Chains A and B, each alone.
Chain A
Amino acid sequence: MAQMNMIEAIRSALDVKLSQDPDVLIFGEDVGYFGGVFRCTAGLQEKHGLHRVFDTPIAEGGIVGAAVGMAAFGLRPCIEIQFADYIYPGYDQICSEAARMRYRSAGEFTSPLTIRTPVGGGIHGGQTHSQSPEALFTHIAGIKTIIPSNPYDAKGLLIKAIEDNDPVLFLEPKRLYNGPFEGDPNIPAVSWAGHELGEVPEGHYTIDFEKARLHTQGSALTIICYGTMVWVAEAAAKAAGIEADILDLRSLMPLDLDSIIKSVKKTGRCMVLHEATRTSGFGAELIAEIQEHCFYALEAPIVRVTGWDTPYPHALEWEYFPGKARVTKAITKMMEG
């Protein structure tokens, strides 16, 4: 075991796979010599060589498209899109090509590629460095969407993603890179140092998809969340003085619906959190499934707390972010009802 923040855990996962499998390649903007704008690939080019870890032109459609060709050939490219906000030029290659390759060719060609990209706000990134576009991908048949909330999960899930024979979108909540975040900007930032989930094995391990993690246990309420919102949920439940089942989904597609149903049937109350915009967000999908499977167990309407349906504003970041204060208020209101 070693102490790692999420950047180090991701780097360790990449290092393990580069060492194990000569078919794993890493490329993207600034990931080579420099090691990535968030440092996730720092030192990997020096260790594994220029041919294994290299820089690309600023062309997200080109990065994904080249990876689709390589993956069809039989390699396992793990590419980085510098910010999820910049993934859209690659959207056609992801949705129409990578996600459909196995289906349209009846298995003759596949797309075992991993797309890593930082998501979410809380770092003063404004509308161009803060987006959470997960729902645009969970809506697409043929691609898996993964989002870890801590270093231990990040490494195990990323190794699993690279080894998966289908395309995986691996979303990295950038506000969690250096430490858990309660969603209150007035509290000094904390690091992963000394945190239980910052204890990460140095070697190879995987975490299965379609398996939610029960972050905290409680009988008053089920809070379904992922990424940064896991830590906001924990802080808000504490502030509201209730004990909740906080389910960290980790994998949005495929989804661990059984764990969700089990918890909601137990507590009878459910709140869904995400940082992304509300309308047609992933929360809408969760709520639809929950009402279908748990309707008669529910004691209150399902509540969702999300980002507003606006672009992510720079100066008003904390008014936009569904932080501790807003979630605490929603919990309190729900428990009174």
Chain B
Amino acid sequence: MNSPNDTATPKTGQNRSKLFVPEPPFRPGDTPDFSHIRIPADHSPGRPDPMVDAYDTEPQATGLVRVLRLDGTIAGEWNPKLDADTLREGLRHMMLTRCVDTRMFSMQRQGKMSFYMKSAGEEAVAVASAMAINKTDMVFPTYRQQGILMARGWPLKELMCQCLSNAGDKLEGRSIPVLYSVRDHGFFSISGNLGTQMIQAVGWGMACAYKGEDGIAVAFTGEGATAEGDFHYALNFASTYRAPVILNVVNNQWAISSFQGIAAGQGKSFAFRGLGFGLASIRVDGNDFLAVYAATKWAAERARRGGGTTVIEHFTYRKEGHSTSDDPTKYRPKSEPDAWPFGDPIERLKGHLIVLGEWDETRHEELHKALTIEVRESYKEAEALGTLATPSKINPASMFEEVFEDVPTHLRRQRQEMGV
């Protein structure tokens, strides 16, 4: 049987175009085989000076920046030379992120909250990015960068209360779980509308530059939402006004059920899109903690030195469903996450520390146990303030507050009508 995308001879006329609809390489029932993805062993491309001409980053935009080999050794020019304590700190943040995700996912399944989103497989992107920038730099995240909050030490109880929409939720139960806003930890209010934060981050960066402040803005989007106009506005404005910004594209291969090719089209890489706007661009192994750290450090230095925005594509893989409402086995092989050739970010950093002689299985297991207890205790404290399944303690009158700075007449009338 011919594939529907085969170009057949047209019956009439000269137009040989045929509507092409891309499909992922594997669907449920297939055996995933990623041998077509080249895993560079020599660890090129190299690390140019952060003030390099943007167009000279083409090798970085089309290649894959890596530091960690799969066997835990390191190679290439991008080694950020972090000390063992910093590496262990990164490992801890990633493990904590996964631990929280596991707990919250199961609590959602028990009906304690309406929804949750894990970041399994992508922890290095969030954690290493956060560790490579200043705590005062504002991040404009999506819903899958909770690792930033771990790295910046936001109390777990507060995170959990937001997910539970309970009396401890400082956002007063206004948003669904995981749409956090944590200004004092440099974490911008997450929008459920995808891509909008990219151009907002550029506006924030422009404001930093206008005020002569040292801060930069660091935005994240999934690869799917790069198709939104906001992404293109962001690249255009970032280039025009040389905004001190990092625009991260987390290419985790899947936008709910749509594979990355739906957004990518015939593009060489998502990073490559940055070059068209004259922005420095890097494609990095997103499962490599050290590579993410090094690329982010490079981009932050470039931004702070007046070199403008860098686009970083994090090549990674979404190991689990999009959210608690999603079942990925409906559209991709069940074994695909295990077949993904870049390994797991936690295992890879752990392996590196073991190679260095700075870690071992026993310490790893002990840390995992300690984090599990920490998460369990925090969750108990959070749940004591209520869950979605218990009567809400949020004052109904708060619904009418903060629509505007002051409650206008019509909202006062509506509040009275509601009887509160």
Contact = CB atoms under 8 A, between A and B. Distances in A.
B20 interface: no
A89 B210 CA distance: 26
B229 A61 contact: yes
B189 A105 contact: yes
A38 to B, nearest CB: 24
B230 interface: yes
Contacts of A69: 140, 199-207, 217
A72 B188 contact: yes
Contact of B233 (A51, A65, A104): A65
B179 to A, nearest CB: 7
Given A51-B210, A141-B403, A97 B236 contact: no
Contacts of B171: 104-106
B17 interface: no
Contacts of A144: 404
A57 B193 contact: no
B181 interface: yes
Given A69-B202, A72-B204, A73-B204, A104 B410 contact: no
Interface residues of B, number: 45
A104 B199 contact: no
Contacts of A210: 408-409
B26 interface: no
Interface string B43-86: 00000000000000000000000000000000000000000000
B410 A255 contact: yes
B193 A96 contact: yes
Given A75-B210, A106-B181, A62 B236 contact: yes
Interface in B250-272: none
Contacts of B174: 103-104, 106
Nearest to A164: B405
Contacts of A142: 403-404
B175 A104 contact: yes
B402 A103 contact: yes
Interface string A51-70: 10000110101100111111
Interface in A209-256: 210, 254-255
Contacts of A257: 409-410
Interface residues of A, number: 45
Contacts of A57: 233, 236-237, 240
User: Which residue, B183, B203, B402, has most C-beta atoms of chain A within 10 A?
Assistant: B203
A109 B207 contact: no
Contacts of A56: 237, 240
B328 to A, nearest CB: 27
Contacts of A89: 229
A76 to B, nearest CB: 11
A102 interface: yes
Contact of B200 (A25, A65, A141): A65
Given A57-B240, A73-B204, A255-B410, A65 B230 contact: yes
Given A93-B230, A96-B196, 10 more contacts: A62-B230, A62-B237, A65-B234, A66-B202, A66-B203, A72-B188, A73-B208, A89-B229, A92-B196, A102-B404
17 contacts: A25-B210, A56-B237, A57-B236, A62-B229, A69-B200, A69-B206, A70-B203, A75-B211, A93-B196, A97-B200, A103-B402, A105-B181, A106-B402, A108-B183, A164-B405, A166-B404, A210-B409
Interface of A: 25, 51, 56-57, 59, 61-62, 65-75, 77, 89, 92-93, 96-97, 101-110, 141-142, 144, 164-166, 210, 254-255, 257-258
